[in-house]
Amino acid sequence: MADIVLFDLDGTLTDPWEGITRCVQYGMEAAGYHEPDRRKLTPFIGPPLMDMFMGEYGFTKERAELAVEKYRERFGEKGMFENEIYEGIEDMLKALRNSGRRLGVATSKPEVFAVPILEHFHIDSYFEQIVGSELSGERVRKGDVIREALRRFDVEEAQEKPVVGGREELVWMVGDRKYDVIGAREAGIPCVGVLYGYGGHEELSAAGADRLVSTVAELRELLLAL
C-alpha cells in the first residue's frame, strides 16, 4: 500500500489557468513586454517563474525579477482565487484518507500562496503537510520541494526506498508536468503523471513517469490500488 501520497497543486488538484496567465501577462507588461494572447502563456503553469521569464523569453535577471514581483503582486490580491478545483478531487482525497493513506502537497508555488488556495477550496484539512517554495527564491526546484516534504513527514531517503521509523515507506508523487517526474526521481520516489493537467502524454512519458492516468477517477482508482 502507498503509505504517503504527495500531490502537485497546479494542474493536478486545481486548474489555475485563468489566474496564472493573467498574472504572467501583468508581470510582463510591467517589464515592458506585451503579450495579448494568454494561451501562449500556458507553459508558465508548472515551472519556476524565473526560469520561464529568462529561459523562454530572454529577460535579464533584473527584468525577470521585476516581472516575478509584479506577478506576485496581482496573484496575492486576486490571481490565486482565479482558479477551479478539478471535479472529483475532494472525493478522492477523502477516500484516500479513509483508507489510511497520509497525504501531502509538494508544489513549486510559494507556500504562502499554496496554503490559502487549499483553504479556499476547503481541502487543506486532508493534508498533513503542505510544502512549497519560499518567496526568497529558495526551494523552487521540485526535487528540493519533495525532499522537504519527505523531511516534514520524517521520511529518510534510502537507496532503495524511503525509510520512516525504521521501516520501508512507500511514497508516491502525483503531478502533471515533467518537473514533478524529474523531482520525484531526484528524491528517489515514483511518480504518477496525470494527463488531465498541462504536461501531456509525450512530456510525461519522456520524463519517465511510472504510471499515467487520464482522469481524476482513474487517479483515484490507481492510488487506492497501490
Alpha-helical runs (H) found in the chain: 17-30, 49-51, 61-77, 89-98, 111-120, 142-152, 178-187, 200-207, 216-225
The helix-helix angle for 178-187 and 142-152 (nearest 10°) equals 50
Cell numbers standing for residue 145: 520541494
Cβ–Cβ under 8 Å, residues 79 and 104: no
Cell numbers standing for residue 67: 516581472
CA atoms of 75 and 72, how far apart (whole Å): 5
> Nearest CA to 84 among 177, 20, 2, 4?
20
3 state DSSP class of 55: helix
How does DSSP classify residue 53?
I
Catalytic-role residue among 3, 8, 15, 180: 8
Catalytic-residue membership of 8: yes
Active site residues: 8
